[in-house]
Structure 1
């Protein structure tokens, strides 16, 4: 995948120059708003969750103004490319396939284990019908294994498919499934999968300066421990 090939000093200088020319600029942050605890819509109708808090802090450190935009997952990359917003911050794993279309910042979380939720704790997933959200690393994983896959547009629909018997299990980020297991008999299976290369912000390939600004802000949160504190607060992934 493409990486920003700059030394630490050069990165800091580049980010500083970008900040100087973009002080107070409004950046539209695109997210799904349907993948708790990463991002969701709260009772007040506002985007909430780990990535809302993270994104606001990153914008503060980069001296930018955040404006949040909710977008369905299946069109989240096309609408970034077409200019409907400036970033994707939506629990998106960094993959080579996606990196051919857009650019990514450095990851702000390590890979989250992918887990299975089912109604039968002894289910053999290799011979089962597995639900996954379309255009995710989990859907690609199941397809590559040659297992029976049913894709759905939203995370909620994948869980509903298991509850109503349309699928035997759902494969998703464990942090998401932790919010639904224990309801209606759903249990986590012992088997997990290690997929993806961590989660990062997506940006248009033409927005190198903006990417450098967010890279510097993410690194500063890693360096002072605040990113680990936020990960622990929302329980979205392992810490750095």
Structure 2
């Protein structure tokens, strides 16, 4: 991840955003309830509702675009869109290449999920590529099996390709609750500094606008309402 990120850092010096233009909001569109494509073919989910409200409060005209996760930072840096709002955890490594707003989701627990509760979490563990969860697995001594999307990661557990999967709890919990074959194993692990919007380091004015909008949503309780709506009553709030 670090090599890929640092190789794109120089592009940030030439890519910029003019505040008079439309802000292109980049997301993955494959990560419910954070973001997904609905039956009408439109970006939907917590981050769509959040992003629209942030743009309204910042008095910005915004449009949504989708990008695959494994190239989402390089394509931000090269100017294909102006923000990343895609369930991205704030980490020191990513902060070397892009800038972040304050978090709009508090730091949350990552969880292991498997077919049985006696699985060895130091075995073959599936996770999504270029995430803090996959980095954690790689450093833990387990055998990391990476996938482009989180649904492929869960499928790998179900088909026996992986002993367990390790990912964000907010994504895994509804899947486990709705299934009869999956269960949580091991202890929850807190990773990262919460989820924030990613922007090019050259776009400080735009970051300040979104920071102010996030602050206003925290102060009036609107952000907590959205978090509970999309992630349930047990979701950590501000």
Confirm or deny a common fold (TM above 0.5). yes
In the alignment, which of 173, 193, 215 is matched to residue 211 of structure 2?
215
Residue 172 in structure 1 maps to residue 170 in structure 2: no
1:121 matched residue in structure 2: 117
Which residue of structure 2 aligns with residue 147 of structure 1? 142
2: CA distance between counterparts of 1:180 and 1:170? 12
Q: Given that residues 36 and 179 in structure 1 are in contact (C-alpha distance below 8 angstroms), is that contact kept between their aligned partners in structure 2?
A: no
Equivalent pair of 1:162/1:168 in contact (CA under 8 Å): yes
Please identify, of 181-190 and 133-142, the stretch whose mean Cα deviation from structure 2 is larger.
181-190
| Alpha-carbon separation, structure 2, partners of 1:196 and 1:170 | 18
Does the 8 Å contact 1:133/1:139 carry over to 2? Answer: yes
The match for 2:64 is 68
1:24-103 to 2 correspondence within 5 Å?
25-103=21-99
Q: Quote the offset at 1:184 in angstroms.
A: 5.5
Q: CA RMSD in A?
A: 1.4
Aligned to 1:196: 192
> Which one of 123, 128, 131 corresponds to residue 133 of structure 1?
128
**What secondary structure is seen at the aligned counterpart in 2 of 1:106?**
strand
How far, CA to CA, are the matches of 1:189 and 1:58 in structure 2? Answer: 37
TM-score, scaled to structure 2: 0.88
Q: Show CA shifts across 1:178-215 (max 9, x none).
A: 23214361122252111111100000000000000000
Q: Decide whether the 8 Å contact of 2:19 with 2:206 is kept in 1.
A: no
Q: 2: CA distance between counterparts of 1:124 and 1:192?
A: 15
Distance in structure 1 (CA, Å) of the matches to 2:71 and 2:221: 34
Aligned positions, number: 218
TM (norm. structure 1) is 0.87
1:239 equivalent in structure 2: 237
One of 155, 159, 169 as aligned partner of 2:154: 159
Name stretches of at least 5 consecutive residues in structure 2 with no aligned partner. 1-17
